[in-house]
Structure 1
Amino acid sequence: MSYEPKLAAALSGATLRQLSHWRRASGPKGAVLVPEISSERPILYSFRDVVALRICVQLREEASLQKIRRALNTLREDLGEWEHLSSYKLVAGPDTIYLAEPDHAVDLIKGGNVVIHQMVDVLAPFYKDGRSIPALLTPREHVAVDESVRGGEPVIQGTRIPASDVAALVRDGIPPDQIGEFYPGVTAEAARDAADFSEYVDSYGSSEPRQVVA
């Protein structure tokens, strides 16, 4: 499964302009995140990319993009950590960014080790600019994202039925309580959740109002 920018944005909380900005190199420190599947049109992100984007979005709430780039440069060039960004737990603190280890954390801006008492669950729901960003694995109660099921495509919970297919039927005028005639086992509540999630994803479309990239 690959994620087009709109779906990657909806699942991560990043804006489309941020995705574009973050995948471009900016000076010697390079890009924040280059899509793992395709960095050329059509742009396609992996499940790991979406996890990494959630990390970047949450870091950006507390730290400047310059500090994030500096921290990533330290992680890669100084510490020799070249695994996918989703492999690391990065936490923003006052004036710095930490690489969190099981019993300590490395300060990627100022250097040295510290103890972090509070960790952020990057998969959990959070708020950004007044918008509720859903839990990555359960973006709606009856919608699931599991990398082992259809490669991470959002599906109806407990099935392999793409949520987008169910949402398309609802958009075409099929009442939610009749969706089970097309997909046995899909309840009206699940159909409503699929339609609601589809509307949420569409809110990240190209008509997104212009805002400052950060």
Structure 2
Amino acid sequence: MFPVPLTVTMTGVTKSQLAGWRRAPVVLAPEHGTRPRALYSFQDLVALRTFARLRSKVSLQKIRKALSTLDMLELTEHPSKYTLVAHGESIALVDNDEAIDLVEAPTTRVMVEMVDVFNSFINRNEVAVVDFKHPRPQLEVNLNRLGGWPTIKGTRVPYDAIVDLVADGDVSYDEVAEYYPSVTPDAVADAVAFAQLIEDAA
């Protein structure tokens, strides 16, 4: 489960957008509730990141209309299951080699340029959103490793375990290898920098 600050950092959706969407689930309510605090699933992060990328190109009304069209077409799985891309002033659903418009001319086939929602992008607020699979060069996200929690590249070591280890200054970046032999000082620096991004989002 992903808390709000990590969700904000990984998706490009703002804290206030998440709060608003929790009160009135306009786009997506957290899969794991809101009490005592909101926790988002890995699927939620993928969907929210898609919405943030779309929101940098089209209005929230158009995103809602696209989701409504998906419902009308009886495509009711979690939004992360669908590939949605901005198509001019509209949104298209990409399925295999076809794309259909969901907003301007629902169900009309269209040609779209595919973008990888996991790549870094600039959100609506002109803020750079981290690369989803590699939020820092020495960190990676893999759904099959710790449920998608960010880890040190090539390991199962959670980034926050490293941050906690060096937090009080008793263990230097170089000494981390005594506890985790596969974790380099560069990886420690990336974990700490990523933790700072998350703290800034809190």
Length-normalised TM-score, structure 2? 0.92
- Taking only aligned residues, the RMSD between alpha carbons, in angstroms, comes to 1.5
Check if 1:152 corresponds to 2:151.
no
Match of 1:53 in 2: 48
SS of 1:203's partner is: helix
Match of 2:182 in 1: 185
Q: 2 CA distance for matches of 1:54 and 1:157?
A: 22
Which sections of structure 2, spanning at least 5 residues, go unmatched?
none
Q: 1 CA distance for matches of 2:42 and 2:168?
A: 29
Kept in 2: contact 1:100–1:116 (CA 8 A): no
Which sections of structure 1, spanning at least 5 residues, go unmatched?
206-214
The 5 Å alignment of 1:88-107 reads 88-107=82-101
Q: 2 CA distance for matches of 1:24 and 1:79?
A: 26
Q: 2 CA distance for matches of 1:24 and 1:62?
A: 24
Match of 1:79 in 2: 73
Match of 2:18 in 1: 19
Check if 1:66 corresponds to 2:61.
yes
Q: Shift of residue 58 of structure 1?
A: 0.6
Q: Shift of residue 37 of structure 1?
A: 1.9
Q: Shift of residue 112 of structure 1?
A: 3.7
Name the aligned partner's letter for residue 103 of structure 2. I
Q: Shift of residue 104 of structure 1?
A: 2.3
Per-residue Cα deviation, 1:80-132 (whole angstroms, up to 9, x for no partner): 11111001111122222111222222211122423324111111111223332
Report the identity percentage.
40
Per-residue Cα deviation, 1:161-194 (whole angstroms, up to 9, x for no partner): 1111111233321321121122222110111111
Kept in 1: contact 2:99–2:112 (CA 8 A): no
Q: How many residues align?
A: 199
Q: 2 CA distance for matches of 1:148 and 1:195?
A: 23
Match of 1:133 in 2: 129
Name the aligned partner's letter for residue 70 of structure 2. L
Kept in 1: contact 2:22–2:30 (CA 8 A): yes
Which of 31, 36, 42 is 2:31 aligned to? Answer: 36
Length-normalised TM-score, structure 1? 0.87
Per-residue Cα deviation, 1:3-45 (whole angstroms, up to 9, x for no partner): 01111111101111111222333xxxx5310111224332110
Between 1:36-45 and 1:118-127, the stretch displaced more is 36-45
